[in-house]
Amino acid sequence: MSASPQPASPAPEIVVVLVEPAGPLNVGSVARLCANFAIAQLRLVAPRCNPLGEEARRMAVHGQAQLEQAATYPDLASAIADCRRVVATSGRLEREELPLEGPGSALSWLIEPEADPGVPIDPPGSIGPRGSSGPGGTNSPGGINAPVALVFGREDRGLSNDELLQAGKILRLESSADYASLNLSHAVAICLHELRRIPASTAPPGTRFGVQGPAQAPLLAQAGALPCGVPDGGAGPAAAGSLAASSGAGATSLRGALEATLADGQDLLLEVGFLHPHTAHARMAKLRGLLQRAQIREGEVALIRGMVRQLRWATTRRTP
């Protein structure tokens, strides 16, 4: 008997993230754009200006609520930890670890509906990344209901390579080669306008971007539970449960869960000598790029995390 497609998730909440904005006029203008395009959340990463100053407020006009409620974060990783999909913008012409895409394909992917896997990825009582069941953990209620993020870089130098590698796709707006750099608020305006123009066939049902229409939800397998602890006298974490989790189950992984898994993996690879301190950053950047291109899902992150824990247990186990 063939399985029927799972229902698509509700339209995702879209958040706009500005990394280290330096111009209060730009911040205020982006807040106004968020109001224009019904974006409820504006997030600021280490702003280099006063986002609530007179200049920013003057440019926000009727976007005062978005400006006043804008949350600030110390770095990009914390700003997008609860997001399941991330598109970052780049004005660079050189080849990136992730290929550059136009706004049509990148933004359609950003708000593409997820199918509901129907079961939690972790069993009750299991822990999330770094021992937390909070935001970004595999027990987090995010998953298919998590927000998606559209990230913009600094006015003077954009996003760093490390920041770009935290995105699932990198968007580039076409402009003249003689003067390719766009004003920050202008770039935000173009991207939000392009989101509005996404046709109903690619937009999630009920989304404010595009006309409401039927969703083409992908068929997703259900995930099994992955163990998280080492039972006394057992044979390591794998003995606590089955490792037969579907490798493709669940919604796209939350950024925080993936980053925590990568951090665990890096620690283990350093311990066993596969990585060395002076080359670890570069080699993990390649791995991060590989996983981003694969659009890794919750069940796959849980599987990798279980493997890392099992291997760590095996390396510390006392042999008779």
Per-residue pLDDT tens over the stretch 301-317: 778 888 888 887 887 77
Whether residues 173 and 288 fall in one domain = no
pLDDT above 70 covers a percentage of the chain that reads 66
More confident residue, 88 or 225: 88
More confident residue, 138 or 268: 268
Whole-angstrom Cα distance, residue 180 to residue 23? 19
Whole-angstrom Cα distance, residue 54 to residue 173? 31
Nearest-10 Cα torsion for 25, 29, 34, 36 = 160
Whether residues 145 and 274 fall in one domain = no
Whether residues 160 and 274 fall in one domain = no
Q: Where among 173, 196, 219 does a domain terminate? A: 196
Per-residue confidence (pLDDT) for residue 116, from 0 to 100: 53
Per-residue pLDDT tens over the stretch 29-48: 999 999 999 998 999 999 99
More confident residue, 203 or 313: 313
Q: Which two tokens stand for residue 70?
A: 């804008």
Average pLDDT over every residue of 191-199? 89
66 found inside a domain: yes
269 found inside a domain: yes
Per-residue confidence (pLDDT) for residue 155, from 0 to 100: 93
Whether residues 191 and 242 fall in one domain = no
Task: Please report where in the chains the tokens 């259900």 appear, as a residue.
Answer: 222
Whether residues 176 and 287 fall in one domain = no
3-7, 86-90, 105-109, 129-133: range with lowest mean pLDDT? 129-133
Do 75 and 46 form a contact (C-beta atoms < 8 A)?
Answer: yes
166 found inside a domain: yes
- pLDDT band of 183, cuts 50, 70, 90: very high
Q: What is the CATH number of the domain that holds 302?
A: 1.10.8.590
189 found inside a domain: yes
Whole-angstrom Cα distance, residue 237 to residue 268? 15
Q: Where among 196, 212, 247 does a domain terminate? A: 196
Containing domain of residue 101, as a range? 14-196
Backbone dihedral angles phi then psi of residue 169, each to the nearest 5 degrees: -145, 150
Whether residues 59 and 114 fall in one domain = yes
Q: Is the pLDDT of residue 105 over 50?
A: yes
29-43, 153-167, 210-224: range with lowest mean pLDDT? 210-224
140 found inside a domain: yes
Whether residues 103 and 19 fall in one domain = yes
Q: Where among 196, 229, 253 does a domain terminate? A: 196
258 found inside a domain: yes
Per-residue confidence (pLDDT) for residue 130, from 0 to 100: 37
Whether residues 184 and 262 fall in one domain = no
225 found inside a domain: no
Average pLDDT over every residue of 139-151? 72
Whether residues 43 and 146 fall in one domain = yes
Whether residues 74 and 185 fall in one domain = yes
Q: What DSSP string describes the chain?
A: -PPPPPPBPPPPPEEEEEES---HHHHHHHHHHHHHTT--EEEEES-SS-TTSHHHHHHHGGGHHHHHT-EEESSHHHHSTT-SEEEEE----SPPSS-EE-HHHHHHHHTPPPBP-SS-SS-TT---GGG--STTSTTSS-GGGS-EEEEE-BTTTB--HHHHTTSSEEE-----TTS-PPPHHHHHHHHHHHHHT--TTTSPTT-SSS------PPP-PPPPP---S--TTSSSGGGGS-----TT-SSBPPHHHHHHHHHHHHHHHHHTTSS-TTTHHHHHHHHHHHHHHTT-BHHHHHHHHHHHHHHHHHHHPPP-
- pLDDT band of 247, cuts 50, 70, 90: very low
Q: Is the pLDDT of residue 246 over 80?
A: no
Q: Is the pLDDT of residue 22 over 70?
A: yes
- pLDDT band of 229, cuts 50, 70, 90: very low
Backbone dihedral angles phi then psi of residue 266, each to the nearest 5 degrees: -65, -45
Total domain count, the chain? 2
204 found inside a domain: no
Whether residues 110 and 36 fall in one domain = yes
Q: What is the CATH number of the domain that holds 51?
A: 3.40.1280.10
